[in-house]
Structures are given as structure tokens and as C-alpha cells.
Amino acid sequence: MDTNKIWLKSFDNERLEIIVFVTEQCNFRCLYCYEDFKVGKISSEIILGIKNLILARIHKIKELSLSYFGGEPLLNKSVVLELSDWASKLCKENNVYYFGSLTTNAYGLDKITFKKLIRSKVKSFQITLDGEKEEHNKLRPTINGKNTFEKIYSNLVSMSKSKHDFSCVIRFNVSDTNIYSVESFILNNSFPFSNDRRFNFHFHPIFGMENLKLSKNELLYNLKKIAISKGLFFNSEEGESTCYAAKANSFVIRADGRVQKCTVALESDINNIGKISKDGILKLDQYKLKKWLFANDKECPVQSLKLEKLIVPYENAGKYMTNKI
């Protein structure tokens, strides 16, 4: 299917995609993070608005995708479980396909939590590792500066040992400083995920930080080549021609009720396209919405809207400071 056909399909009213920030707080302070952690947990009024939006559309759609995002969504896992359980049952009653996914640092993804998520039909995960222990811990410490690699890796290995049906993208944010650590991880620690199609690897350069840039993108191809030799698979979403932000049937709902198109350009004014009311009505700015839908670059509208320069790590993102969560 060519690019235009894929893009036109996103105007199909039979599918609804919602990315929910269930909390904008996080227990990590990754060095390259672009979020400012000013907003807390999603309110009951916004949750009601999301439910009413789905209820208004449930008889018109064939597919519902709910993606749980943050911050760190497992800091508010009760809402993830409750909303997914409710949505999956509603979809089953109305013969609608339900897809639940979670972007998490996996620090709190223990066996019990994992089983609860699977039971509530959250079966797709994106989890980040940034190489071997030493380099990962430098890039992705907790809010208090503690190491995180061992707990995340242990939780991933536990997932690999389960018999559950799920999919998991293991993402590596790569720069010149950690690329050989990522290579070492693939060579020495990736064996639990070898020949397991539930796991897909994804390599991505870090943006916005001069000291964490990747000088040669070709180095990513070498990582992929090594991964193939280890029996690893790759993110099935790689190669999609249309970014979710350019799709007419995809919306980001922030914890404070703001409706946006992109989960990265969070503080860009053009990204604030409206609000959701508690009765489920999306009050949208049609001018801003059209900017996203008709951007010249459908694969990444952020680039054609010239927003990439606004997406930089916050000054305090990587500092070890104790904030209220």
C-alpha cells in the first residue's frame, strides 16, 4: 500500500486511536527526557470524558486502540487496569477489536503487575534499555539517582519465560557514547529474547543533545546486522509510512484534558489542538488540526511543521532531584 493510501485510511471512522497520559509524573530522570513533570495524575473527570468519547463512538467503529503513556504510566497502574478492563469488555460486547498498549520504563513491571495487565487486555509493550548496565544506568537513573538496569532486565527476562501471548518492543536510544554498550548487550545479554517473536528490537538515535548525538546513522545498520546474527526480530511498526500524529483518527489526551496530536512536541502551541469535556466531546481547533493532517511529511509531521528544534531535554531532566510523584 502506498503512502497516500495509508494516510487516507487514517480518515476511516471505523478505527479510533487514543493515547492517554494517565500520569505525567515519572520515577526516572533520563538524561535526554523532554518532559517537565508539571502535571500530575489524570483526574476522574478526564477519565469519564474518555469513556464517554468511546461510548459515543463504539457503535460506529470496528477497532479501538488505547495506548497508556506518561510520565510513567505504572505510577498510576490502577487507572491503566481499570480503563483497559472497561474498554476491552465494552469492545467485546459490541464486536469491536480492542488493542491495549503500554509505554513503560518497566521498573514496576513485576510478575504480578504483568499478569494483571495481560488479564485486562494490555498485551503490547514498549520498554527501553540503553545498553549494558553501566551505560544504561548513566542515561536512565531513578529520580533519586539509583540504578535501574537490573530490575528492568529482570522483568524483561521474566516476561520471556511466561507463556502469555503479547508483543514487546525493546527500544535502544543510541548515541556515540553508548553504541558499543548496546552492541555488547546484543552480543552478551540478548539470548533470552532470541527466536522469540514476541520481542522486537528497535534502535533509535537520541535527539536534542549535542553530547549524546549519533555521528553516523549507518552505525544503526551494523547493530541490526549483529542482532540478526543473534536470532533477534525487529519492530514490526518500523517502515509504516504515516505517523500517528498525521492520522485523523488518532488523538493524544494529556492528564489535564488537553488534546494533542504528538507525544513528543508537548509544549508546542500548534500541538494543543483542543480539550476533552467530561461528556466526551472533543472541542478542537480545526486550523491547528489541519496543520497536522495535511503536513508535507506524513512520516513525521513534526519535521515539516519545523517543531523538531523545540523538542529538547529540559534543563533538570537528568538531574538527581526528589520531586513529589
Cα 71 from chain centroid?
A: 10
Q: How far apart are CA 223 and CA 185, in angstroms?
A: 10
Give tens-digit pLDDT for 241-297.
678 888 999 999 999 999 999 998 898 999 999 999 999 999 999 999 999 888 877
Q: Residue holding cell 555521528?
A: 215
Cα–Cα nearest to 73, from 81, 65, 61: 81
Q: Which residues of 27-55 are buried (b: 16+ CB within 10 A; e: fewer)?
A: bbbbbbbbbebebbbbeeebbebbbbbbe
Question: 123, exposed or middle or buried, with CB in 10 Å at 0-12, 13-18, 19+?
Answer: buried
The contacts of residue 18 (CB under 8 Å, 6+ apart) are 50, 53, 54, 64, 65, 66, 67, 250, 251, 252, 253
Per-residue confidence band for 8, with pLDDT thresholds at 50, 70 and 90: low
Q: What does the pLDDT look like over 25-66, one tens digit per residue?
A: 999 999 999 999 999 999 999 999 999 999 999 999 999 999
Q: Is the pLDDT reported for residue 208 higher than 80?
A: no
Name the nearest CA neighbour of 74 among 127, 138, 119.
Answer: 127
From the list 169, 194, 167, 175, the residue with the least C-alpha distance to 131 is 175
- pLDDT tier for residue 207 given thresholds of 50, 70 and 90: confident
Under the banding of pLDDT at 50, 70 and 90, the label for residue 322 is very low
Look at strands 199-205 and 167-174 and give their pairing.
parallel
Q: How far apart are CA 293 and CA 243, in angstroms?
A: 10
Q: Is it the case that residue 153 has pLDDT exceeding 90?
A: yes
Across the range 123-139, mean pLDDT stands at: 97
